Structure 1
Amino acid sequence: MMKVIRVFFSSLWRLWFYLWMVIVILILSPVLLFTIQSEKTYPAFFKVARIWAILTFYGIGMRYHIEEEHPLEKGRSYMFIANHTSMLDVMMMLILVKDNPFVFVGKAELAKIPVFGYFYKRTCILVDRKDAASKKRVFDSAQERLSRGLSICIFPEGGVTDDRSIILDTFKDGAYRLAIDHQIPIVPLAFGRLRHYFPFVWGIGHPGVVPVRIYEPIETTGLTMADRKELKDSTFDLLYEPVLAWEEEYKKGNP
């Protein structure tokens, strides 16, 4: 009986999330529509998108706590990477990165979400991971954004695994190829407990406080593609340590 009650309230809360997200988008839509008309106005769009993320995140009762943070150089291009288990990861990135406008490389499927999808497909770099040609277009689009001084955000796991026993999936090469090719620093961010608070599975989830760790930028100056695997493995280890610790803490409090 308790499980049925939890599923009911979790589903009700998730429905509120989608409703509230659309309401906030509609409220901000005049400014959003104006700022997506030109590549020159993307930094302005990014600021409005941050407002959308903040209002939506706090509006569903979520909070976050930064346990460790390293300052970023304002206006510099970075490659942002983070673990990915929840739709709220997108909002977390927008909330946490204030002065370095970035473009998401994200799943093409999200463009199908009503209202949200319209703005998503016009401002993000979409990838169909089953299409090799799509991956090539992603690389070219990312290069173009970086040449304009923007940053890029990629979730290196390449998607969300259906296996809920995996807390951090294998990293793909894309983020590291771009970072090395453009000699830009990589900034790893670790998010905790979102796989429990707001997973991609209905009937599971509840509001909570997300622990966050923002690592010091990792310079790629002088690195070559031969260094890609070592860089990928080291950032995986960086994220795995706190994510595992937060997972164990959550399980102790929610046996």
Structure 2
Amino acid sequence: MLKNLNFIRFYIIQIKASTEAKIYFLILKAIKQKKLLHLAYMKKIKIPFVLIWRLWFYVLVLGTVILMSPLLLILTAKEKYYPVFWKVIRVWSFFLIYAMGFRLKIEEEEKLDITKSYMFCPNHTSLIDGWVLVALSKNPIVFVGKKELVKIPVFGFFYKKVVIMVDRSSPKSRKRVYEMAKKRLQNGVSIAIFPEGLVPTEDVILAPFKNGAFSLAIEHQIPVVPHVYYDAKRLISWDPLRGGPGIFRVKQCKAIETVGLSKDDKEELKNQTFGVIYNELANDEVYMKDTNRPNNEREFKSPL
């Protein structure tokens, strides 16, 4: 009889514990759902402010280009004015970056020789990457860029005057890039190419590199300087409903020398540069959190 009573007591205790556990988990589930609803609600509230902030970016860019047009027309009239033009657009770049609420946090693995030319190769994840590179370089840089950007009103007019444009579908255009780059390098200017050749969708850590930057670097025996942009994907991505002010971390990695390399070493140089940037990004917790966010594949894809 006593054994039966003990069994009944034990059974009641188990039921009670099980019931309490169920209630506890139901409460936790309710709290979690409430938090998710709150987050969803906050995101909806945030959207109009993000859109206004995005519009502010375009107003800043086009507005300042229009205001500076008389000066820019003079400075882009002759190539000999390019060093002065560079100083002007550096100030402009800093203004845009800080007016958007970004604060640059720069790490340099080594100081670059200001008397030398370099091939700058950054990863490409946002609208503002080009301006960041301009702001960071005291010495003039010429970008190799897509001809499609010429279509942007006002901006496109000056873009075609100072950028070496490339049509990747045209062998003739690619040959012209080499000739123009050689001419600019002889004037002591550096070259910048986004080696991915596009802005990848946000679920990609780093897209495969094209050959152009590395062929040019080897041909002209100039060092390749990898640049790593960690926060652009989060702060001002190509998704129009995301973004906002914040710290923009940049790392200028150690230059990779090309002296003595031949065209047969192009693939190795490309892979080495890719590895430097990829390892930095893959080991950065914040960048990987942005990359692994749910529904990345459904987000706005860059037209570039």
TM-score range with shorter-chain normalisation? over 0.9
What's the CA shift for 1:247? 5.0
Poorly superposed stretches of 4+, deviation over 4 Å: none
Retained in 2: the 8 A contact 1:107–1:159? no
DSSP 3-state at the match of 1:209: strand
Amino acid at match of 2:256: I
Asked if 1:131 corresponds to 2:179, the answer is: no
Amino acid at match of 1:53: S
RMSD (Å) for aligned C-alpha atoms: 1.9
Residue 72 of structure 2 corresponds to which residue in structure 1?
32
Which residue, out of 221, 228, 246, partners 1:190? Answer: 228
Secondary structure of 1:103's match?
Answer: strand
Tell me if structure 2 keeps the 8 A contact 1:111–1:121: yes
Asked if the contact 1:103–1:151 (Cα under 8 Å) also holds between the matched residues in 2, the reply is: yes
Q: Tell me how far apart the structure 2 counterparts of residues 222 and 47 of structure 1 sit (CA, whole Å).
A: 33
Specify the code of the residue in structure 2 equivalent to 1:83: N
Relative to its length, the structure with more helix (as a share) is: 2
Residue 225 (structure 1) aligned to one of 252, 263, 268: 263
Greater alpha carbon shift after TM alignment, 4-13 vs 31-40 = 4-13
C-alpha separation between the residues in 2 aligned to 1:230 and 1:109? 30
State the 1:244 CA deviation.
Answer: 2.2
TM-score (norm. length: structure 2)? 0.78
Q: Give me the identity figure in percent.
A: 45
Matched positions, count: 252
* 1:127-206 mapped onto 2 (5 Å cutoff): 127-161=166-200, 163-206=201-244
Q: Distance in 2 between matches of 1:144 and 1:247?
A: 42
- AA of the residue aligned to 1:79: M
CA contact (8 A) 1:24 1:55 kept: no
Q: In structure 2, list runs of 5 or more residues that go unmatched.
A: 1-40, 294-304
- Determine if the alignment matches structure 1 residue 21 to structure 2 residue 61: yes
How far off is 1:250 after superposition?
6.7
* Counterpart secondary structure, 1:43: helix
Unaligned runs of 5+ in 1: none
* TM-score normalised according to structure 1 size: 0.92
1:249 Cα deviation from its structure 2 partner: 5.7
> Is this contact kept in 2: 1:108–1:126, CA < 8 A?
yes
CA 1:160–1:249 in 2, change beyond 3 Å: closer, same or farther? closer
Distance 1:202 1:213 in 2: 26
8 A Cα contact 1:24 1:56, kept in partner: no
Q: Which structure is richer in relative contact order (CA contacts within 8 A, separation 6 or more)?
A: 1
Matched to 1:123, the amino acid is V
**C-alpha contact 2:230 2:287 (8 A) present in aligned 1:** no
AA in 1 matched with 2:64: V
Q: Which has the larger radius of gyration?
A: 2
Distance 1:144 1:58, change over 3 A: same
